[in-house]
A and B are shown apart, each in its own frame.
Chain A
Amino acid sequence: MGFDLTQILDYSLIAMLLAVGFAVVRMRNLFAAVMLTGVYSLLSAAWFVSLDAVDVAFTEAAVGAGISTVLMLGAMLLTAREAEPGGATRHWMALVMVTAAGAALFFAIPDMPVYGDAMSIANSYVGYEYMVQTPEDIAVPNVVTAVLSSYRGYDTMGETTVIFTAALSVMLLLGLGSKRSRKKDGEDKA
């Protein structure tokens, strides 16, 4: 099929992603692993820009590289710095799982849509409809916003609820940091 100049960028970013991913697998120092995850997110964000997903890139940079890293560092500060290597059983178990799942994914490749093809069914059916319909239906230039807030606004409501639920669960687990809840937690430790 076609070739696009951005593909050179694609492959260099992929190379970096693979390197960082591999480093995370090998890394025993948790601090380094967490920081590399931030790097991984940032590289993904860069690639999202090259894939025309600017909204996703923005979010991934803010969330993946920002909030997630802060949270993981905070949790690390409260827990441990070093990860012990997993046992041999775990290693083999993981390898079996990864091989099975990877085989299923590789099996599917020949019938996956051609990369960059505008006419693949994935890109030419509902996704294309949104591009055509948005000026008429919603009249917002950013089609991602239109789909996110209106066509699939219910999903976004669900997403807001997910975030809210996370706050509820974290409050249940850690309290809000007020003295009362901290003392209670101390008591209920078995």
Chain B
Amino acid sequence: MFDILADRAIYMPIIVLMMMGLYVVVATGNLVKRLVGLSIFQTSVCLLYITVGKVFGGQPPILPPAHHGEDHGEGHAAEAGHAAAAASSHDAPVHDAPAHDAADHAEPAHGEAAHAEPAVADTGHAEEAAHGAASHAQDAVQHVADAAHHADAAPVHVEGAIDGVLYSNPLPHVLILTAIVVGVATLAVGLALVVRIREAYGTIEDTALSAADYSAETGGRE
């Protein structure tokens, strides 16, 4: 149990932060401060999403520029098998794969690249590339130490990596970009309402507002 929680300890303070925001929203009567609480609540939810997408030893999800455009085979190859050793045939990209990561995963890399071969081979386009990858992978273990510096080194397969480089998950980032924008839009509308309420009532405290409404309903008009 302790191990299970220790691996996920990071979520606990985030939950506490979320609840702090929620507490402020509900517990305060000041209309501006409630919006402050709301924005803290939302920001903390953003933190939750992003921590889920984090990968240790990962890079921001920006692929090296040299990488895009040319090699068709690569996409197919990787598609064919999730664990397939993605091989870039024409332009071996220069990555700065952290050496210790590569070393950690050297053993699985060996085995998986070998049985990735049949899965990849049937995609005609990628055939050549796959063979290259597989044969390279045979001696990947020797290569790992200098993989980072080797311009034409075969990409060492790390679990979940692209060309030997781990990237953090881009999807939560995209979702949270949207959520942040929604948050600021809500904040703007909320603040505009607060300004109007202040002009109409002369106060922005919840208790005073309720009192004003109550007297208007019972005593005041007609």
**Direct contact, A vs B (beta carbon within 8 Å):** yes
Question: Are A135 and B67 in contact, CB atoms less than 8 angstroms apart?
Answer: yes
Q: Among B17, B26, B205, which residue has its beta carbon within 8 angstroms of that of A21?
A: B17
Complex contact B32–A110 (CB within 8 A)? no
Q: Give the residues in chain B near A24, CB-CB below 8 Å.
A: 20, 24, 36-37, 40
- B10–A97 CB distance below 8 A: no
B149 contacts across to A, CB distance below 8 A:
none
| Chain A residues positioned under 8 Å from B158 (CB to CB) | 118
- Interchain CB contact under 8 A, B32 and A79: yes
Interface string of A24-37 (1 = CB under 8 A from B): 11000010011001
Are A173 and B184 in contact, with the CB atoms below 8 A?
no
Give which listed residue, B18, B25, B67, B160, contacts A118 with CB less than 8 A: B160
CB proximity of B1 to chain A, nearest CB, Å: 8
Q: Looking at B1, B63, B64, which has the most chain A CB atoms within 10 Å of its CB? A: B63
B131 interface residue per 8 A CB criterion: no
Q: How many residues of chain A are within 8 Å of chain B by beta carbon?
A: 108
| Contact A123–B53 (Cβ < 8 Å) | yes
**Which residues of B have CB within 8 Å of A120?**
52
Give the distance in Å from the alpha carbon of A11 to the alpha carbon of B221 in the complex.
58
Q: Does B65 interact with chain A (Cβ within 8 Å)?
A: yes
Please report the C-alpha to C-alpha distance between residue A113 and residue B184 in the assembled complex, in whole angstroms: 29
B117 within 8 A of A: no
Docked pose: A109 CA to B159 CA in angstroms: 24
Chain B, range 141-183, C-beta contacts under 8 Å to A: 158-162, 166-178, 180-183
Q: Is the interface of B mostly helix, strand, loop or mixed?
A: helix
Q: Is the beta-carbon distance between A163 and B192 smaller than 8 angstroms?
A: no
B160 touches A55 (CB 8 A): no
Interface string of A54-98 (1 = CB under 8 A from B): 111001100110011001101110111001111100110111011
Asked if A132 and B78 make an inter-chain contact with CB atoms under 8 angstroms apart, the answer reads yes
**B12 close to chain A: CB less than 8 A:** yes
Q: Is the CB of B19 within 8 A of A86?
A: no
B197 to chain A, nearest CB (A): 8
CB-CB nearest 9 A-B residue pairs: A136-B75, A118-B160, A83-B30, A116-B56, A166-B185, A94-B27, A127-B169, A94-B26, A52-B168
Could you list 17 A-B pairs, sorted by A, with CB under 8 Å? A37-B39, A52-B168, A64-B39, A71-B184, A79-B204, A80-B204, A84-B205, A90-B29, A94-B25, A105-B11, A135-B74, A141-B65, A143-B61, A143-B167, A144-B173, A166-B185, A173-B192
